């Protein structure tokens, strides 16, 4: 049994310190409950900016916030750094890597993880972008390849080390491709004057006929145009069929030599074992309109992991931060009602629009009501919305100052290879963990 002081209040266990989990803990602050939060990291990750860590624009401290610090004001709160393996719903108990613990209420907010759709070879060689260590790994990998490119006289290898393929034309794929295009245009040629950057290709692959499938067609086309300005080649209707760490085989028959393939093509839910199969669907947990897991009274799910079907969202809400934040918020209110014996109220998602940035002065924004913005104005909105969404005032400030610096100096400060001692073997293990889980 994990040591947690006993309490007269009911115990709410929350699994996952992402957007939904953190919001929920904060809003439960003054309720008569004991809160225990589990996360495998001791920090919350602001995932929308992970790609900037990967592309040498930010250090991890800008987008990660220690959970204990963030949640200090919450009374009756306990944090445990551990992965939750199994739920024993009959006995109201969870099993974790550090022991077991009873709950009165359980909230699953474990988010999503990279989906390789079963392609083992891609999984072993591609770089996912869902966690901070992955972003740091990618950053070092790209820089190490440029160092290696300077010392090879094999022109094919040189090109392969400089080339980068990004799979998946959603927001992450578009944003990382744009950031790499900016690096290629403004920073790398100064760092590596010996290399011919005409020979470097940045290729973004998208399986469907357009980028940013969740956004308007106007925005898709704008994003495409902006990416071209940053010398990113976009292949639509194209999938990657295989990748061995050096060459990517595409569905159009083409082969691209590249040492770096970034996988942003899909995510799937990431939940502990033990729930009834009837409460699961397509790697997500089915919840009713009050975030209650189908078939359970005292288990809830929120955020990416929760599939709440409705007239409007027949396959559940999109797996986005705003949904998670709003559900965390709403669930806290429902807990208040629950504790008072009142009826729970259904969740409705307020869609405030969606956006993606491509690079300096270039972004696309879809607002509700068919307003579609592009260019500098969209870029300003994108920055503003991201800044206010980052948890923690220090992080907001650090990110803001980094952006100002990068904008005026055309420089990015964190071109450091500091994971040199983490060999490929280890990355493989990390991925094995993801597979076997």
For residue 102, list its beta bridge partners.
Answer: 93
How many C-beta neighbours within 10 Å does residue 429 have?
10
Work out how close the CB of 81 gets to its own copies at its nearest, in angstroms, rounded to a whole number: 4
Work out how close the CB of 407 gets to its own copies at its nearest, in angstroms, rounded to a whole number: 13
Work out how close the CB of 218 gets to its own copies at its nearest, in angstroms, rounded to a whole number: 38
Q: Which long-range contacts (CB under 8 A, 24 or more apart) does 381-385 make?
A: 381/355, 382/355, 382/356, 382/357, 383/357, 385/355
For residue 355, list its beta bridge partners.
Answer: 365
Nearer to its own copies, 218 or 422 (CB): 422
Query: Quick one: CA torsion of 395, 420, 422, 259, rounded to 10 degrees?
Result: 100
Residue 136 sits at φ, ψ, to 5 deg, of -65, -40
**Listed residue (405, 409, 362) closest to 175, CA to CA:** 362
Q: Phi/psi class of residue 111: alpha, beta or left (left: φ > 0; alpha: ψ in -120 to 50)?
A: left
Nearer to its own copies, 132 or 211 (CB): 132
Nearer to its own copies, 377 or 416 (CB): 416
Give yes or no for a contact between 269 and 308, defined as CB atoms under 8 angstroms apart: no
Nearer to its own copies, 75 or 315 (CB): 75
Work out how close the CB of 165 gets to its own copies at its nearest, in angstroms, rounded to a whole number: 23
Nearer to its own copies, 162 or 299 (CB): 162
Strands 93-96 and 99-102: antiparallel
Q: What distance separates the 2 farthest-apart alpha carbons in the chain?
A: 74
Work out how close the CB of 104 gets to its own copies at its nearest, in angstroms, rounded to a whole number: 20
Give yes or no for a contact between 286 and 277, defined as CB atoms under 8 angstroms apart: no
Contact set with its own copies (CB under 8 A): 2-3, 5, 40-43, 59-61, 64, 66, 68-69, 72, 78, 80-81, 98-99, 132-133, 136, 143-144, 147, 150-153, 190-192, 194, 394-395, 397-398, 401, 405, 409, 411, 413-423, 426, 429-430
Nearer to its own copies, 102 or 411 (CB): 411
Work out how close the CB of 431 gets to its own copies at its nearest, in angstroms, rounded to a whole number: 11
- The tokens for 275 are 């729930």
Nearer to its own copies, 237 or 429 (CB): 429
Work out how close the CB of 19 gets to its own copies at its nearest, in angstroms, rounded to a whole number: 18
């Amino acid at each position: 049994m994990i040591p947690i002081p006993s309490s007269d209040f009911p115990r709410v266990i929350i699994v996952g310190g992402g957007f939904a989990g953190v919001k929920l803990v904060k809003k439960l602050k003054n309720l008569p409950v004991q809160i225990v939060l589990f996360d495998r990291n001791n920090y919350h990750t602001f995932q929308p900016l992970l790609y900037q860590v990967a592309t040498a624009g930010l250090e991890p401290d800008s987008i990660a916030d220690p959970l204990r610090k963030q949640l200090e004001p919450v009374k009756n709160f306990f944090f445990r750094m551990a992965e939750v393996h199994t739920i024993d719903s009959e006995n109201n108990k969870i099993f974790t890597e550090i022991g077991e613990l009873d709950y009165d209420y359980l909230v699953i907010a474990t988010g999503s993880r990279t989906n390789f759709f079963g392609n083992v070879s891609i999984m072993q060689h591609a770089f996912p972008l869902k966690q901070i260590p992955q972003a740091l790994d990618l950053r070092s990998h790209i820089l190490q390849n440029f160092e290696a490119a300077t010392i090879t006289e094999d022109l094919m290898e040189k090109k392969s080390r400089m080339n980068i393929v990004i799979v998946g034309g959603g927001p992450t794929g578009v944003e990382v491709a744009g950031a790499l295009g900016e690096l290629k245009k403004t920073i790398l040629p100064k760092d590596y004057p010996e290399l011919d950057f005409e020979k470097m290709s940045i290729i973004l692959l998208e399986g469907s006929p357009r980028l940013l499938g969740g956004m308007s067609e106007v925005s898709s086309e704008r994003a495409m145009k902006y990416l071209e300005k940053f010398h990113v080649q976009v292949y639509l209707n194209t999938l990657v069929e295989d990748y061995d760490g050096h060459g990517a085989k595409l569905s159009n028959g083409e082969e691209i030599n590249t040492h770096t393939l970034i996988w942003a093509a899909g995510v799937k839910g990431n939940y502990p074992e033990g729930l009834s199969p009837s409460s699961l669907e397509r790697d997500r947990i089915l919840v009713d309109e009050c975030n209650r897991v189908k078939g359970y009274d005292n288990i809830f799910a929120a955020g990416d992991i929760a599939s709440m079907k409705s007239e409007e969202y027949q396959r559940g809400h999109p797996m986005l931060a705003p949904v998670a934040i709003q559900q965390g918020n709403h669930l806290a209110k429902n807990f208040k009602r629950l504790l008072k014996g009142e009826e729970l109220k259904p969740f409705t998602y307020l869609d405030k629009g969606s956006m993606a940035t491509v690079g300096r002065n270039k972004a696309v924004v879809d607002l509700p009501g068919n307003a579609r913005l592009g260019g500098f104005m969209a870029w300003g909105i994108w920055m503003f919305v991201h800044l206010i969404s980052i948890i923690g005032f220090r992080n907001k400030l650090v990110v803001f100052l980094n952006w100002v610096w990068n904008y005026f100096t055309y420089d990015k400060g964190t071109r450091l290879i500091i994971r040199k001692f983490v060999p490929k073997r280890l990355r493989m293990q990390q991925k094995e963990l993801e597979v076997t889980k």
